[in-house]
Amino acid sequence: MENSNVKGSGIATILLGAAFVAAAAVGVYQYQNVKETEQEILALNNQAEELSSSKVVLEDEVQSLSEKLRMKIAEAEASAKELEEIKEASKKSKVYSYKAANRRKELESDLVAKNEEIGVLQNEITNLQATNMQLEKDLEVVPVLKAEVVDLKGQVTEWEEKYALLEKDFMDLDTRYQKLIYDAPADNFKVEIMTSKGKLTSRARRADQINVSFLMPAYLQKEMSKNETIYLSLFDEKINPIDGYLEEVNVNTTEGSIPVQVHAVKEVDYSKNPQVVTFTVNTEDKFEEGFYKGKVYTKDDYLGTVDFRLR
């Protein structure tokens, strides 16, 4: 009978290789994300620094213009005061000199010019104050940007850790491959259906004895203890144990202990590996036509599966 365990190991190996190729692609993608995120962090920091610098410059400019405005207002007030004094003096004096008239005109013209300058300065200050208010609003975003930077740095760290794990997985590929092989190490399964007269058959109604044999590889000498008890379980195509099993034992798996119905038991000395192990199961009940499975276990390991068919 054909050994399905060999095919299963080959397919599993291909899938494992494909998984690691996919993992490598993910690793490269995450590495690129790390670089892009670092550039984004740098851009956010630069933006925050530029906003802070612009705010300082504007504040200095507003202060300078405000001081200039105060000086112009003071000058305008002085000119206005002098103009009023001249007007009062002209009212009291019947003689209004030509010099005083010219001075009055100069002061009036100077006052108009200063008022215009004051208006311009006030407009500039208003515009600068509006710009400054906008900058202050922009600077309110800086804490948010800083929080985003912290979050992005956390993501960078997480991506770096994931990438390191992927690299470790690749370094551990050979070990995983060996473990995959060890998950079902038995090889070269063979099933023989015998009649009551000791002849080979494939007929269900003539089956009187089932012989299941397989090869235990040499490398298991190091993996297993010297003597092990091996169990054979037979199942129909619906994965129901066939009738007539000897006992039920608990087999340890990664997901916990599971009960297994045992149809044959064999004591094996692993120090003699490689060796062929053969189980013999005498059938009391007649088999039905269909597909069957033979599974081999120890109490702590699954060794392999073979499929066979009775017509």
Domain end call among 176, 202, 225: 176
| pLDDT, the chain, mean | 76
What's the pLDDT at 20? Answer: 54
pLDDT for residue 276 is more than 80: yes
Report yes or no on whether pTM surpasses 0.75. Answer: no
What's the pLDDT at 173? Answer: 54
Token pair for 137: 């609003």
Which secondary structure element, helix H or strand E, spans residue 244, and what is its range? none
Q: What is the per-residue pLDDT across 91-141, written as a single tens digit (0 to 9) for each?
A: 655 445 666 677 777 777 877 887 788 888 788 888 877 887 777 777 777
Q: Do 65 and 163 fall within a single domain?
A: yes
Q: Do 255 and 149 fall within a single domain?
A: no
**Domain CATH for 283:** 2.60.40.380
What's the pLDDT at 284? Answer: 78
Q: Do 145 and 107 fall within a single domain?
A: yes
Q: Which residue is listed with tokens 């190490």? A: 185
One DSSP character per residue, 107-142 reads HHHHHHHHHHHHHHHHHHHHHHHHHHHHHHHHHHHH
Q: What is the per-residue pLDDT across 194-243, written as a single tens digit (0 to 9) for each?
A: 998 989 999 999 999 999 999 888 776 656 667 889 999 999 988 899 99
Q: Supply φ then ψ for residue 246, to 5 degrees.
A: -80, -45
**Domain CATH for 94:** 1.10.287
Measured N-to-C along each axis, helices 98-171 and 173-182 cross at an angle, to the nearest 10 degrees, of 40
Q: Do 170 and 22 fall within a single domain?
A: yes
What's the pLDDT at 181? Answer: 37
What's the pLDDT at 97? Answer: 64
Strands lying side by side in the sheet with 187-194 = 187-194, 209-216, 275-282
Range of the domain at 283: 184-310
What's the pLDDT at 93? Answer: 57
Give the rounded percent of residues in the chain with a pLDDT score beyond 90. 21
pLDDT for residue 75 is more than 90: no
pLDDT for residue 44 is more than 50: yes
Select the more confidently predicted residue: 238 or 165.
238
170 pLDDT band (50/70/90 cuts)? low
Q: Do 151 and 255 fall within a single domain?
A: no
